[in-house]
């Protein structure tokens, strides 16, 4: 690889040009572009909502483009459905796992093209299992084809997905955040497979948020922003901060004021040896008044589980929770609210808001009692006054208090949820991925709000998978891996590298049971 | 996997060791539990009443299970796809009426009349499937519509009167005669029972061995992922509801043969017994899980319960209360079992 690959024209596998796609209310792609050569690992990067997944779903026949051209090996193609994409040699490993949990590993891999027995309509499970085993040997995977997928760990399920995608003899393999749930060793194994495939001339599209990782594996990198093509760089020559600035377009953290130091040493929440099956193992930590405590870790590390246990949404088997030094038993979210704990789910639309109701009703939702007169009549005027206060205090952009929250943007929806918990007089706020699905401009506003809340003496737990967010926005960082707390770092000593080290610190015991 | 292939071999089969807990959680356990419950019921009633433990009564239970058992076969497929079919009872009646029209009114040869009756049910199932998978009507609504439509059609076609098979005595022999009794005198087990077991074996083979069975589980497990795997989900869903209609058709012919007539007013309520049998048998209403064996055990639990309570002179109204309790209890036990993780 001392010289560049032969002229792009002869080696070109795929060219997507002028792709437009809109969803109700959103222009997801406008003039998006992408090209891929044979034997190339091409990274596709951009912030959440930049349009990477949408573009790849168009390639995979899952979405239909509104306009544009797709050329595959110099022939224009219309990809109408996933089946067609498969036949053209395009395989996608989706971000969200796309497996049938009740079926076995082999049945999942060969779904839609099951080996048949001689009798019509009858599937040949024996051959299916043998073919799966041969595939695993080729990829050096250790999986039993007859295991039910629901019995596998997330990492193993991911491996099944990849094996499935590769089993099509794909010419193009798209991997959407394949490493999000994997540990370092597993990522290394995955990269070995990717390198093998590159040798064989497969074109690989690699979507990832971990830019360091792209440096290791990719040949070129294409940056997208707000549904548009921004630039394509040779990875070797591109510096990471250059890629970031292309992705962001401006630096989001600049407008956020520096997080002031938290002088308080008052512990408002202490968690001791929280346990629940494999999900939580001896989780202990404390939260101080006016502190933002970051929770870092890989997907499935147990951070959301901790939050839900503290909030009373899930039961825990053993352990103690103390609020301001007093042991409490939180049996339900109702109890949590009484104790002054609020939880802001990563999935606002499902767990945080009643989308069909308006702003003032949502603000009042967690503290209805305050707005009730006798016999359950609601005091709408009082709710409206409170809603109005929140709209002003939090700078919620809404045409009126009667606006249904489903018509608000992600950032403003998040503010409504914050308003809901402030109305309920909560002192402890648990934010689960506070800026997921929120556009760049609104992000810095949410950060400012977190700052203000902490400054006013609220205590905040902030679960986030974005390391820059953790590093910028927390006083201390709790790192979790496989249900355990593997490290608690003061912000001064925390770096992306130190956090990742703790986030992948698997215990010997766990490794042993999985071998 | 460096140098010890042997070690790798021994650990390959399972990710976690088979503990008592994981055995308890397994799907086979559900069937064992259901079968255990059936045995306990049978022993309990046998101890409580000498009339229960007679040969004739056991034959009665078998016969009473036949129609509901066949209906429940189709419902099992539908529920495994996370769907529902409320129309199986009235589609059964519709098939019975059509069979009577073909045989008694039109004087068609018996085999052709029977085939026509089964096809009528199959066609109704196919309409269900098309409405659900192409028009995207939720299964609950689509099959509720079919429930009313076939109920009405049966009454219209029969002009509100039962149609008898008095000209064709061979028709009644089909379900109520006993081939086994002719071979082994004294064992007068009606053919209907063997028709049910035969249908169950076919259903089991379809569910566990064929492509249709595989996609039935796949759709119920994760419909979107199945679609993204290039499977024609709409087509296979239509096939599942069509199969449901086919089994309703078979049940229609069976019940007509048993009653020697097509009773157009009959049929409502059968769908609930069928769904209850499927659910008691451990098929999950959220899809992806279930078995024919479980369904047949479920159907037997219901008919044994009804039979035993009747022999103990429990009024019919109270029999329903008990059946309702059993359905809820069965699902509750299943939820407890799944929670053990």
Contact B124, B150 (CB under 8 A): yes
- What pLDDT, in 10s, does the model give residues A411-465? 888 889 999 988 888 999 999 988 876 766 677 888 888 998 999 899 999 999 8
A102 to chain B, any CB pair closer than 8 A? The answer is: yes
Residue A407: what pLDDT?
82
Q: Note whether residue B1 is domain-resident.
A: no
Residue A281: what pLDDT?
92
Question: If you average pLDDT over residues B305-321, what whole number do you get?
Answer: 91
As a whole number of angstroms, the distance between CA A140 and CA B54 comes to 62
Residue B6, pLDDT > 60, answer no
Identify from A111, A124, A513 which residue to disrupt to test chain B contact, counting B C-beta atoms within 10 A and taking the largest count: A111
Residue B2: what pLDDT?
38
Identify from B18, B19, B25, B222 which residue to disrupt to test chain A contact, counting A C-beta atoms within 10 A and taking the largest count: B222
Which of A484-488, B118-122, B176-180: highest mean pLDDT?
B118-122
CATH classification of the domain holding B178: 1.10.3470
Residue B12, pLDDT > 50, answer no
Least confident of A128-132, A424-428, B335-339: B335-339
As a whole number of angstroms, the distance between CA A17 and CA A72 comes to 12
Residue B5 pLDDT level (bands cut at 50, 70, 90): very low
Q: Note whether residue B4 is domain-resident.
A: no
Q: In terms of Cα–Cα distance, which of B112, B48, B123, B125 is closest to B86?
A: B125
Going from N- to C-terminal start, the domains of chain A cover 8-250, 268-340+427-505, 353-425
- Which CATH homologous superfamily contains domain A268-340+427-505? P-loop containing nucleotide triphosphate hydrolases (3.40.50.300)
Q: B35: domain range?
A: 31-339
Question: If you average pLDDT over residues B55-77, what whole number do you get?
Answer: 95
Residue B265, pLDDT > 80, answer yes
pTM to 2 decimal places: 0.76
pLDDT over 90 for what percent of chain A?
38
Residue B20: what pLDDT?
54
Question: Which of A82, A102, A114 lies nearest to residue B211, judging by beta carbons?
Answer: A114
Residue A3, pLDDT > 60, answer no
Whether A8-250 and A268-340+427-505 share one fold: the answer is yes
Q: What is the DSSP letter of A349?
A: I
Residue A141: what pLDDT?
79
As a whole number of angstroms, the distance between CA A315 and CA A288 comes to 24
- What pLDDT, in 10s, does the model give residues B103-129? 999 999 999 999 999 999 999 999 999
Q: Note whether residue B13 is domain-resident.
A: no
Question: If you average pLDDT over residues A126-155, what whole number do you get?
Answer: 88
- CA atoms within 13 Å, Cβ hemisphere of A237: 5
Structural domains of chain B, count: 1
Residue A512, pLDDT > 60, answer no
B14 to chain A, any CB pair closer than 8 A? The answer is: yes
Q: Note whether residue B22 is domain-resident.
A: no
- What pLDDT, in 10s, does the model give residues A78-94? 999 888 998 899 998 88
Question: If you average pLDDT over residues B2-13, what whole number do you get?
Answer: 37
Q: Note whether residue B154 is domain-resident.
A: yes
A133 to chain B, any CB pair closer than 8 A? The answer is: no
Residue A260: what pLDDT?
74
Cα A296 from chain centroid (whole Å): 13
As a whole number of angstroms, the distance between CA A418 and CA A394 comes to 8
Q: A8-250 has which CATH code? A: 3.40.50.300
Residue B17, pLDDT > 50, answer no
Residue A179 pLDDT level (bands cut at 50, 70, 90): confident
Question: If you average pLDDT over residues A392-412, what whole number do you get?
Answer: 85
Q: Note whether residue B2 is domain-resident.
A: no
As a whole number of angstroms, the distance between CA A296 and CA A491 comes to 12
Average pLDDT of chain B, as a whole number = 89
B217 to chain A, any CB pair closer than 8 A? The answer is: yes
Task: Specify the higher pLDDT residue, A38 or A241.
Answer: A38
Residue A441: what pLDDT?
66
Residue A508 pLDDT level (bands cut at 50, 70, 90): low
ipTM value: 0.81
Q: Which residues pair with A431 in a beta bridge?
A: A344, A462
Q: Which residues of A touch B212 (CB under 8 A)?
A: 121
Average pLDDT of chain A, as a whole number = 85
Classify A122 as helix, strand or coil.
strand
């Amino acid at each position: 690889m001392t010289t560049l690959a032969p002229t792009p024209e002869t080696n070109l596998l795929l060219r997507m040009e002028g792709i437009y796609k809109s969803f109700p209310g959103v222009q997801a792609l406008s003039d998006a572009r992408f090209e891929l050569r044979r034997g190339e690992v091409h990274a596709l990067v951009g912030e959440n909502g930049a349009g990477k997944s949408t573009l790849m779903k168009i390639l995979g026949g899952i979405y239909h483009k509104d306009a544009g051209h797709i050329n595959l090996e110099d022939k224009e193609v219309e990809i109408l459905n996933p089946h067609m994409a498969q036949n053209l040699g395009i395989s996608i490993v989706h971000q969200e796992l796309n497996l049938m949990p009740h079926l076995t590993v082999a049945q999942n891999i060969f779904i839609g093209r099951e080996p048949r027995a001689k009798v019509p309509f009858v599937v040949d499970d024996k051959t299916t299992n043998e073919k799966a085993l041969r595939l695993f040997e080729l990829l050096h995977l250790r999986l039993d084809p007859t295991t039910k997928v629901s019995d596998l760990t997330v990492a193993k399920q991911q491996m099944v997905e990849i094996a499935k995608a590769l089993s099509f003899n794909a010419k193009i393999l798209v991997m959407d955040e394949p490493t999000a749930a994997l540990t370092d060793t597993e990522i290394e194994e995955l990269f070995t497979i990717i390198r093998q495939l590159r040798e064989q001339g497969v074109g690989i599209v690699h979507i990832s948020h971990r830019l360091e990782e792209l440096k290791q594996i990719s040949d070129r990198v294409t940056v997208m922003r707000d549904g548009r093509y921004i630039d394509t760089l040779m990875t070797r020559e591109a510096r990471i901060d250059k890629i970031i600035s292309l992705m962001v377009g401006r630096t989001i953290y600049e407008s956020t004021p520096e997080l002031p130091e938290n002088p308080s040493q008052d512990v408002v929440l202490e968690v001791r040896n929280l346990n629940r099956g494999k999900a939580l193992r001896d989780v202990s930590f404390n939260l101080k008044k006016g502190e933002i405590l970051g929770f870092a870790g890989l997907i499935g590390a147990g951070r959301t589980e901790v939050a839900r246990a503290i909030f009373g949404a899930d039961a825990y088997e053993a352990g103690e929770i103390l609020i301001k030094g007093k042991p409490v038993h939180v049996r339900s979210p109702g109890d949590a609210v009484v104790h002054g704990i609020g939880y802001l789910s990563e999935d606002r639309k499902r767990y945080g808001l009643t989308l069909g109701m308006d702003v003032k009703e949502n603000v009042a939702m967690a503290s209805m009692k305050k707005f009730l007169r006798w016999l359950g009549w609601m005091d709408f005027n009082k709710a409206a006054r409170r809603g109005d206060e929140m709209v002003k205090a939090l700078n919620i952009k809404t045409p009126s208090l009667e606006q249904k929250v489903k018509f608000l943007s992600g950032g403003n929806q998040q503010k409504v949820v914050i308003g809901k918990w402030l109305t309920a007089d909560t002192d402890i706020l648990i934010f689960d991925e506070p800026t997921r699905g929120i556009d760049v401009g609104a992000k810095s506003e949410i950060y400012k709000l977190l700052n203000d809340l902490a400054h006013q003496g609220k205590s905040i737990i902030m679960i986030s998978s974005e390391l820059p967010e953790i590093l910028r926005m927390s006083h201390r960082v709790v790192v979790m891996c496989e249900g355990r707390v593997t490290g608690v770092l003061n912000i001064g000593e925390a770096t992306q590298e130190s956090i990742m080290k703790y986030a992948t610190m698997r215990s010997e015991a766990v490794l042993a049971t999985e071998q | 996997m460096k140098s010890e292939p042997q070690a790798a071999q021994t650990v390959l089969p399972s990710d976690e060791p088979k503990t008592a807990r994981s055995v308890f959680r397994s799907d086979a356990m559900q069937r064992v539990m259901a079968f255990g419950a059936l045995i306990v019921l049978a022993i309990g009633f046998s101890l409580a009443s000498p009339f229960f433990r007679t040969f004739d009564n056991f034959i009665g239970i078998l016969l009473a299970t036949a129609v509901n058992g066949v209906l429940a076969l189709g419902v099992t497929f539908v529920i495994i796809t996370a769907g529902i079919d409320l129309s199986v009872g009235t589609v059964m009646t519709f098939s019975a009426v059509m069979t009577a029209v073909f045989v008694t009114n039109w004087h068609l040869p018996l085999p052709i009349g029977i085939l026509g009756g089964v096809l009528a049910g199959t066609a109704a199932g196919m309409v269900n499937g098309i409405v659900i998978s192409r028009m995207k009507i939720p299964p609950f609504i689509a099959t509720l519509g079919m429930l009313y439509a076939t109920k009405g059609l049966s009454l219209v076609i029969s002009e509100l009167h039962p149609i008898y098979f008095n000209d064709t005595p061979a028709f009644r022999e089909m379900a109520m005669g006993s081939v086994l009794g002719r071979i082994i005198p004294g064992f007068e087990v009606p053919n209907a029972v063997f028709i049910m077991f035969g249908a169950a074996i076919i259903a089991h083979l379809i569910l566990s061995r064929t492509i249709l069975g595989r996609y039935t589980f796949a759709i119920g497990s994760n419909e979107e992922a199945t679609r993204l795997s290039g499977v024609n989900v709409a087509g296979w869903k239509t096939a599942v509801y069509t199969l449901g209609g086919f089994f309703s058709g078979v049940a229609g012919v069976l019940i007509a043969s048993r009653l020697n007539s097509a009773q157009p007013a009959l049929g409502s309520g059968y769908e609930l017994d069928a769904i209850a049998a499927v659910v008691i048998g451990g098929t999950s209403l959220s899809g992806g899980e279930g078995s024919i064996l479980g369904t047949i055990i479920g159907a037997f639990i219901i008919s044994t319960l009804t039979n035993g309570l009747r022999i103990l002179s429990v009024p019919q109204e109270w029999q329903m209360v008990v059946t309702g309790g059993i359905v809820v209890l069965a699902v509750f036990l299943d939820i407890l079992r799944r929670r053990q993780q």
